[in-house]
A and B are shown apart, each in its own frame.
Chain A
Amino acid sequence: DAGVTQSPTHLIKTRGQHVTLRCSPISGHKSVSWYQQVLGQGPQFIFQYYEKEERGRGNFPDRFSARQFPNYSSELNVNALLLGDSALYLCASSLQGAETQYFGPGTRLLVL
């Protein structure tokens, strides 16, 4: 079975632009979580979704938003990009949210 997939793998944007990152969970998993990992740090929690509803939100500004679709895939949107948004964005899926989370390969975003 396929694991968690994310697209694109790499992305370069300029300050002020908008970006959309996509995630497809493991088949049968209904919950998706998003994490941001800046260089040298561990991943930081951004959002968790289950059955299209937001279950949790980390300490990130309103420029960050997400949604989950009926097929349980998810998008992470970031508006008004800042240089500090450069990071590896990770998506993780789990059955319903509280179980083991399995991570995708990530999308590496560079903001110039």
Chain B
Amino acid sequence: DAKTTQPPSMDCAEGRAANLPCNHSTISGNEYVYWYRQIHSQGPQYIIHGLKNNETNEMASLIITEDRKSSTLILPHATLRDTAVYYCIVRAPTGANSKLTFGKGITLSVRP
């Protein structure tokens, strides 16, 4: 079972920031938080991951709370092409548990 909970859906206006929440209250100390997204019927696309510190790349920012029990993925200027299912995944870095366990994700709809 997935170790994360996400709301089923949210929307935001084009050009505005999209803040996607994720709860992972049972995360272990060595587990990373990963975000992927999947645009209709395509393969999941890696976005970003982090352990403790906030992370930023060209696609998004990841904010992890100090107690690591929740995180937020931020798309700073959402476009229509960002409409997708976003998956928050907790993943161990090594061993048999390095597989990705996907939940149902959150469907982000960006409106014009």
A residues sitting closer than 8 Å to B (CB atoms) are 4, 33, 35, 41-45, 48, 55-56, 58, 88, 90, 92, 97-98, 100-106, 108
Assembly CA distance A51 to B2 (angstroms): 27
| Cβ contact within 8 Å between A98 and B93 | yes
Residue of B99, B102, B104 with highest tally of chain A CB at under 10 A: B99
In this complex, the interface size class of chain B, counting residues with CB under 8 Å from chain A, is: 20 to 34
CB within 8 Å of A: which residues of B?
A: 2, 34, 36, 41-46, 49, 87, 93-96, 98-105
B101 to chain A, nearest CB (A): 7
Q: Which residues of A lie under 8 Å from residue B103 when comparing CB positions?
A: 42
Question: Is A55 touching B96 in the complex (CB atoms < 8 A)?
Answer: yes
Identify whether the interface residues of B are mostly helix, strand, loop, or mixed.
loop
Complex: chain A residue closest to B101, CB-CB: A45
Q: A48-B98, A56-B99 are in contact. Are A100 and B46 (CB under 8 A)?
A: yes
Contact A105/B42 with A42-B105, A98-B93, A100-B49 known, Cβ cut-off 8 Å: yes
Given the known interface contacts A100-B46, A103-B45, A104-B43, the answer about A33 and B99 at a Cβ–Cβ threshold of 8 Å is: yes
Least CB distance from B51 to A in Å reads 13
Cross-chain contact A42 with B46 (CB below 8 angstroms): no
Residues of B within 8 A of A48 (CB): 98-99
**A90 x B43 contact (CB < 8 A):** yes
Shortest CB–CB separation between residue A99 and chain B, in angstroms? Answer: 8
In the complex, which residues of chain B have a beta carbon less than 8 angstroms from the beta carbon of A88? 41
> With A100-B46, A103-B45 known to touch, is A42 a contact of B99 (CB < 8 Å)?
no
Query: Closest CB of chain B to A88's CB: distance in Å?
Result: 7
